Amino acid sequence: MKDGIYSSLDIGTTSIKVIVSEVLNGKMNVIGVGSEKSNGINKGLIIDIDETAVSINKAVKQAEEKAGTKIDSLIVGVPATNIEIRPFHVSVEVETVSQEIDESLLEKMIGQVEAKKIPSDKTLLSVMVEEFIVDGFDGIKDPRKMVGNEVELYGTLLSVSRTILHNIKKSVNNAGYNVSDLLFQPKAMSDLIMTEDESRFGTIQIDLGGGQTTVSAVHDEQVKFSSVIHEGGENVTKDISVVLNTSIKNAEKLKREVGNAYSEYSSEKDQIITVDVVGQESSVEIKESYIAEIIEARLAQIFEKIKEELDEIGALELPGGIILTGGTAGLPKIEELAEDIFEVNVKTYIPDFMGVRYPSFTNAIALVYHKAKMGEIDKILNHMILNGHYDEIKTQRKAKTEPVKPATSKDNSIRENESNEETFMDKIKNFFSNFFD
């Protein structure tokens, strides 16, 4: 990991978290933490930029005070909502014989990816590099300073809704800060919570957030699949509130203090607790196991939805099993419930950093960790995308096109050809089905 001070921003449905971390001699320490209730966010999406900006500012101020440092820019996480993950291959010919491969060639490659592979309603977020090939020599991770006639790049691209990305950037800017990096949260998380072997051989991660749950399948150190279920810990709290006719505040307290994810494992004593009921002067008595049944019902529903998606692509065959994290993953016996439903090995990841030993901080910590260990070639490519260095190439391509009518015809032809290509889901299905060939 590269030494330095890193500040990250995790914009969640129920809370906004900021982490300030110092990396020294390859070791990361958290030196500042900020956490503020989310406003202007629903199901992981920003619906009010001004309110979100206020919450971001408050969280950053908390982290600044604890870290004793000024924050100007933030590493910002982008959720998996409406994300498109696709494999890609582009190639560029070197213009001059014996010319060293430099960043201008990389810019052309990013320009090709953006121009050919991204739907009109989305924008390129980042690329995950699998390998470069120079004149047929494969397995190259960084081709700069090499010489050759043709450079190819195989990898995985991530594209996201233009609206989602705009709202994230605008909220951070309105809060008074710059965006230093935009990182795909599931990829950053996999770097933190998985061992090298788990990431390479294949593992599923489930991030149980407040307003939504994100499931991702990782193989060969790349995120191959990611999906969002718009249910999370907030739904569990609401269920307790509705069933017991108690306030959201009381329901959240019950979930945290006596909650259990699997009613079979409720305490043998099954203690009686009192609950304040709306509209009644006196409290009512219920068993702890009853609260566990309410929690289990919602979590089982979330897990069953996830299982359906994972079964479609054969991802449960991945040898690494499942890793749970996120705020709701802290509930007792959640691993046992998940193992019964998914029928694979399940474990929970809890951050092991002073002051943030809670799974709810996993995303925020993962962003700084991922940034600190990011390779030079990945930094260059992602900064090109963030700063739009390939825009000039896009403009040049558009300038060479024919007048509007022929161009439209050509575009339609391209769309027709692309519609006949193997769909992304088919590729994913084939990808996972061939894991163990």
Residues in the chain with pLDDT < 70? Answer: 97, 117, 267-269, 389-437
pTM of the complete model: 0.84
Looking at the structure, give the CATH architecture of the domain made up of residues 4-81+164-185+366-378.
2-Layer Sandwich (3.30)
Contact residues for 295 (Cβ-Cβ < 8 A; gap 6+) = 236, 239, 240, 255, 259, 260, 261, 331
Burial level of 174, CB count in 10 A (0-12/13-18/19+)? middle
Domains 4-81+164-185+366-378 and 186-349 share a fold: yes
Beta strands in 340-391 (DSSP E): 346-348
User: Burial letters for 380-407: b for 16+ Cβ neighbours within 10 Å, e otherwise?
Assistant: bbbebbbeebbeebeeeeeeeeeeeeee
Specify whether the CB–CB gap between 325 and 208 falls below 8 A. Answer: yes
Specify whether the CB–CB gap between 216 and 186 falls below 8 A. Answer: yes
How are the residues of the chain apportioned to helix, strand and coil, as percentages rounded to the nearest 5? Answer: 45, 30, 30
Instruction: State residue 428's pLDDT score.
Output: 52
Contact residues for 163 (Cβ-Cβ < 8 A; gap 6+) = none
Instruction: State residue 269's pLDDT score.
Output: 65
3-state SS class at 169:
helix
- Please report, for the chain, the start and end positions of each structural domain, with discontinuous segments joined by +: 4-81+164-185+366-378, 84-162+380-433, 186-349
pLDDT digits (tens, 9 = 90+) for 150-188: 999 999 999 999 999 999 999 999 999 999 999 999 999
Pick the CATH number of 84-162+380-433 from 3.30.1490.110, 3.40.50.300, 3.30.70.20, 3.90.79.10: 3.30.1490.110
Q: Fold for domain 186-349?
A: Nucleotidyltransferase; domain 5 (3.30.420)
